[in-house]
Structure 1
Amino acid sequence: MVTRVASPSAARKPAPRRPKKSMPAAPPRYPHPPDERMSKVDTAWLRMDNQANLMQIIGVWQLAPGVKYAAVCERIENTLVRYDRFRQCAVQDATGASWVADPGFDLAHHVVREKLPRSASGDEQRALQDRVAELAGQRLDRARPLWRFHLIEDYTGPDGVRGSAMILRLHHCIADGVALIGVTLSMVDGGAPPAEPAATAQDAVPQGAQAWVVETLLNPFTHLAVKALDALGDGAARSLGRLNPAGQGPGLEQGVEAGVKASLDMARLLLQVATDSAALALMPDDSPTRLKGKSGGIKKVAWCPPIPLDEVRAVAKALGCSLNDVLLSCMAGALGEYLKSQGDDVAGQEIRAMVPVNLRPQEPSLRLGNHFGLAPLLLPIGMVNPVERLYEVRRRMAALKGSYQPLLAFGLLAVAGLLPKPAQDMMLGIFSKKTTAVMTNVPGPREKLRFCGATLEQSMFWVPQSGDVGLGVSILSYGGGVQFGVITDSALCPEPQRIIDEVAPEFARLAMVTLMLPWDGE
């Protein structure tokens, strides 16, 4: 008799299957911020992109020694993306725009590695400038949050020191330059939310136009102007049919009454805008130099080595002027010398530059968004005598003290982004005819900062130009030096380095004349 022995698997009956417990979904790596309506002023900047000028702030950091991609990503993840705005997309609709959470936010899309083309020793800065210029003309992806950082891990600066460089791009609708500087400074080693103006050291407060225009003119009007722009946008929304739907809330009669009131409010505001437009249009057109004309959209950038800040301060004190007066006068001289080198006659010529003016109230919390006006400043590029030119700049800065034009320019530029495209183009066309350049002057930290263990050796940035304005000038004091940077449209100025190369000689001439003046035995 054969005895069959059951196998262990046959001897055991399969255990009944237990229902699987549903595992809780893992929380998202980055919490989704709530959706929110974009302010009308920020909407204006979102809509102002055109083929010639993109509304993005672009900057470049030079670091030594080098930093690694993983460390940079970790730092940005723990600082920058904690601000909701950097995890939100800008979504437009018929009546404006909203900040909407990006459900697939991926830091790897916003922080990318780059390599510069191989270049001869000593030409690395030119390669970096070319890449900055190229990125200045590239649109940010509208399907994602509107910012991107480009890390070049291996970069050798003009001094021969090996390190890294990082190019930063952020759309102007996220925030203005003051807020973005505060945000990026929170990224540095030991960084914290920036101190508000009330807690800032006196010598770090913006000088010249940026100081007294804010104190005496623009601050009292800031909230009124922003509310007016918001009201304009809300009125437009209602007039476009966003009354209460039938069967919900007030009836049709109340809806019509509300619509009529909104239309009247909008009409009053549009009348005020028209009045302001006429006032701005009465300014004479800017000098027809080669720096004005039709922009082509291809950018060029250049910057110079820092000028010692103590030397600039000494000249300013000796001549009884502000640092701002000295720096703007040197820039005016450099522009004049550049134009003369191109064969242009600049005798008696002047060009108008729009100077952004901070309108932020003194408050303890950091707010993003745009809160600034524009002060129009005529630069006497045809004056050869450096001291005469300096005092003329000082006089013109003082003359701006009682002007309402900064507020008008602020309102017109913001409203332009909310109007239909033909009206927007017309308003920006008027603005372009009156302006040759946008010029910023920002005081930064006295001591050099550190980022991911490396020293931030140099920092430069540019704000965008609107319409067909083809010249942007940035002046930044940082780490004991003052650095000048220029961004141009290649159709108007294909070699901005030739402008920058004139800045240091202009300051040297001013300093030399200052030393030659009689000082009563001092």
Structure 2
Amino acid sequence: MDRLSGLDASFLYLETPEQLMHVCAVIVLDTSTMPNGYSYKEFRATLEERVKKLPPFTRRLRRVPLDLGHPVWVQDDHFDIAHHVHRMALPAPAGYDELMEIAGHFAGLPMDRGRPLWEMLVIEGYHDRDGREEVVVITKMHHSTVDGASGANLISYLCSLEPDSPALAPADLGRNERGPGGLELMGRSVLDTLGRPLALPKLVQPSIDLISDTIGRALAGTTMAPPFTAPRTSFNGTIDGHRTVAIADLSLDDIKAVRKATGATVNDIVLSVAGGALREYLRERGELPDTTLMASVPVSVREESKRENGANKVSALFMRLGTDIEDPMERLASMAESNKNAKNHHKAIGADTLQDWAEFAAPRTFGLAMRAYAGMRLAEKHPVIHNLVISNVPGPPMPLYFVGAEIVGMYPLGPVMHGAGLNITVLSKNGVVHVGIIAAKQSVRNPEKLVVHFPEELQKLTDAVSQGVG
């Protein structure tokens, strides 16, 4: 029996019809590399063979009786690939705009919790902006199953390093076990529940110490950006259940050139580019605030975590994006200093703090509270916690082949939440940084007007460093 961690389960409790807690990716494939050519029938058969070797793809949720504890993962004895992989052909001619419309629609559909929590939509007939015909796979996996890093890894396990090589699936992703009986499940959950109060004292003192440390850092001006201090924008309110999507590519070589010239990190540069793009987007709409936007930036603690169970091993930083700074080099310098303070502050927070506190999330109470929060539109009444989420997910530095087809684009799309209806996720792979933007439709109706500024902002930085500015 594989019990969900409190943090994994919290993504189930946070879900409402409008706030869907799954992560998606748009994967563009060059099928000309497939040894036997593309055939949907063979594509799905090979995919089925590979997913059946990976327990995260063939397990489903099982609730604990009376919700006495967090759910558990059990093997789906009725697993059927037809429930998870779907086929669609775009009408010709069909290109970027049609693909983004379908991606947004697919991202806005909830998943059936009675089955393994993932889906794939295989889209044929897509023509990229250069006129090449490609196959696109849009993936969807629930956040209770993966975080950003583990999600990218899980997709890579279905891939190979050569078109005709075996998949990269490791041998240590767990195993499928029998589902426990109701009495056994209830008994274990009761024991877990009774044991939780004993863990509370171990959490309280470190949390008190953290508050004291944060106060000291605030007085010294070296703290990370505090939540509830972000300016309100048009994407900070109650969200709807519809989604809009946009994607773009950045050159990793250009980012490395800026890094070499300035000493900033890749993450500094990505956040600075995002800040510049958001500044231009809001300026064009006449909505640019006087103070800087603030992002929540998920941070993987997988290497530092002492917890063995749980798919999500993350913490978060709050980062100022410098949207109040016009000059791109000044913004990058500010971002680098802000990042440094935030990272140092984050080191004072235990790697498992978020996961430890999440164990106390009560299924019924948490879910009811989230629905009340949405129904009363409280996100529009209290100060803005943060404006958006920005994630930076490292990908493989070499080509990958998905069922024999080379991946030429892999654009991650995270969840959006009440109060922050915009999510930007970037993934670096084989020399390219892929940018995925997803938003609640009523918050950002046309994210293309935002994503177009990402290459422009990176170009401003590369032009500045080539001219010796900064």
TM-score, normalised via structure 1 length: 0.72
Q: Counterparts of 2:359 and 2:327 in 1: how far apart (Å)?
A: 38
Please tell me whether residue 420 in structure 1 is matched to residue 365 in structure 2.
Answer: yes
Please tell me whether residue 383 in structure 1 is matched to residue 354 in structure 2.
Answer: no
Deviation at 1:128, TM superposition (A): 1.1
Please tell me whether residue 289 in structure 1 is matched to residue 240 in structure 2.
Answer: no
Of the three residues 143, 148, 161, the one matched with 1:172 is 143
Q: Counterparts of 1:268 and 1:457 in 2: how far apart (Å)?
A: 50
Instruction: Output the amino acid matched with 2:10.
Output: A
Among the aligned pairs, what percent are the same residue? 25
The CA RMSD measured in Å over matched residues stands at 3.5
Q: Counterparts of 2:54 and 2:26 in 1: how far apart (Å)?
A: 21
8 Å Cα contact 2:227/2:386 also seen in 1? no
> Which 10-residue stretch deviates more, 266-275 or 415-424?
266-275
- Higher RCO (CA 8 Å, separation ≥ 6 residues): 2
Residue 395 of structure 1 is matched in structure 2 by 337
> Which 10-residue stretch deviates more, 496-505 or 278-287?
278-287
From the superposition, tell whether residues 89 and 277 of structure 1 become closer, same or farther in structure 2 (CA, over 3 Å). Answer: farther
Q: Counterparts of 1:426 and 1:412 in 2: how far apart (Å)?
A: 22
Residue 19 of structure 1 is matched in structure 2 by none
Instruction: Output the amino acid matched with 1:50.
Output: T
Deviation at 1:468, TM superposition (A): 3.5
SS at match of 1:150: strand
Instruction: Output the amino acid matched with 1:402.
Output: N
Residue 483 of structure 1 is matched in structure 2 by 434
Residue 344 of structure 1 is matched in structure 2 by 287
From the superposition, tell whether residues 84 and 409 of structure 1 become closer, same or farther in structure 2 (CA, over 3 Å). Answer: closer
Deviation at 1:484, TM superposition (A): 1.6
> Which 10-residue stretch deviates more, 292-301 or 85-94?
85-94
Residue 278 of structure 2 is matched in structure 1 by 335
SS at match of 2:123: strand
From the superposition, tell whether residues 294 and 303 of structure 1 become closer, same or farther in structure 2 (CA, over 3 Å). Answer: same
SS at match of 1:433: coil
Alignment of 1:23-62 (within 5 A): 35-62=1-28
From the superposition, tell whether residues 412 and 468 of structure 1 become closer, same or farther in structure 2 (CA, over 3 Å). Answer: farther
From the superposition, tell whether residues 323 and 283 of structure 1 become closer, same or farther in structure 2 (CA, over 3 Å). Answer: closer
Please tell me whether residue 470 in structure 1 is matched to residue 446 in structure 2.
Answer: no
Please tell me whether residue 310 in structure 1 is matched to residue 224 in structure 2.
Answer: no
Count residues in correspondence: 422
Residue 500 of structure 1 is matched in structure 2 by 451
SS at match of 1:336: helix
Deviation at 1:268, TM superposition (A): 4.3
Q: Counterparts of 2:333 and 2:299 in 1: how far apart (Å)?
A: 22
Q: Counterparts of 2:359 and 2:232 in 1: how far apart (Å)?
A: 26
Instruction: Output the amino acid matched with 1:420.
Output: T
SS at match of 1:135: helix
Instruction: Output the amino acid matched with 2:238.
Output: K
Deviation at 1:368, TM superposition (A): 6.5
Instruction: Output the amino acid matched with 2:153.
Output: G
From the superposition, tell whether residues 418 and 64 of structure 1 become closer, same or farther in structure 2 (CA, over 3 Å). Answer: same
Please tell me whether residue 453 in structure 1 is matched to residue 419 in structure 2.
Answer: no
From the superposition, tell whether residues 360 and 264 of structure 1 become closer, same or farther in structure 2 (CA, over 3 Å). Answer: closer
8 Å Cα contact 2:54/2:169 also seen in 1? no
Q: Deviations over 1:173-223 (max 9, x none)?
A: 112221221221121233324799xxxxxxxxxxxxxxxxxxxxxxxxxxx
8 Å Cα contact 2:328/2:457 also seen in 1? yes
Residue 103 of structure 2 is matched in structure 1 by 132
8 Å Cα contact 1:48/1:466 also seen in 2? no
8 Å Cα contact 2:225/2:294 also seen in 1? no
Q: Counterparts of 2:304 and 2:339 in 1: how far apart (Å)?
A: 24
Q: Deviations over 1:30-51 (max 9, x none)?
A: xxxxx43333322222222112
SS at match of 2:342: helix
> Which 10-residue stretch deviates more, 50-59 or 183-192?
183-192
SS at match of 1:469: coil
Residue 76 of structure 2 is matched in structure 1 by 102
TM-score, normalised via structure 2 length: 0.80
Of the three residues 177, 188, 192, the one matched with 2:168 is 192
Residue 511 of structure 1 is matched in structure 2 by 462
Residue 218 of structure 1 is matched in structure 2 by none
Deviation at 1:282, TM superposition (A): 6.9
Residue 298 of structure 2 is matched in structure 1 by 356
8 Å Cα contact 2:47/2:403 also seen in 1? no
From the superposition, tell whether residues 289 and 410 of structure 1 become closer, same or farther in structure 2 (CA, over 3 Å). Answer: farther
Deviation at 1:411, TM superposition (A): 5.6
8 Å Cα contact 1:152/1:166 also seen in 2? yes
Of the three residues 266, 278, 281, the one matched with 1:323 is 266
Q: Deviations over 1:290-346 (max 9, x none)?
A: 221111121101011x22211211111111211211111011000011000001243
> Which 10-residue stretch deviates more, 65-74 or 85-94?
65-74
**Unpaired segments of 5 or more residues in structure 2?**
33-37, 173-185, 215-223
From the superposition, tell whether residues 36 and 497 of structure 1 become closer, same or farther in structure 2 (CA, over 3 Å). Answer: same
Residue 198 of structure 2 is matched in structure 1 by 265
Please tell me whether residue 374 in structure 1 is matched to residue 307 in structure 2.
Answer: no
Deviation at 1:70, TM superposition (A): 2.1
**Unpaired segments of 5 or more residues in structure 1?**
1-34, 197-236, 244-257
Deviation at 1:412, TM superposition (A): 5.9
Of the three residues 149, 158, 177, the one matched with 2:129 is 158
8 Å Cα contact 2:238/2:418 also seen in 1? no
Q: Counterparts of 1:264 and 1:501 in 2: how far apart (Å)?
A: 51
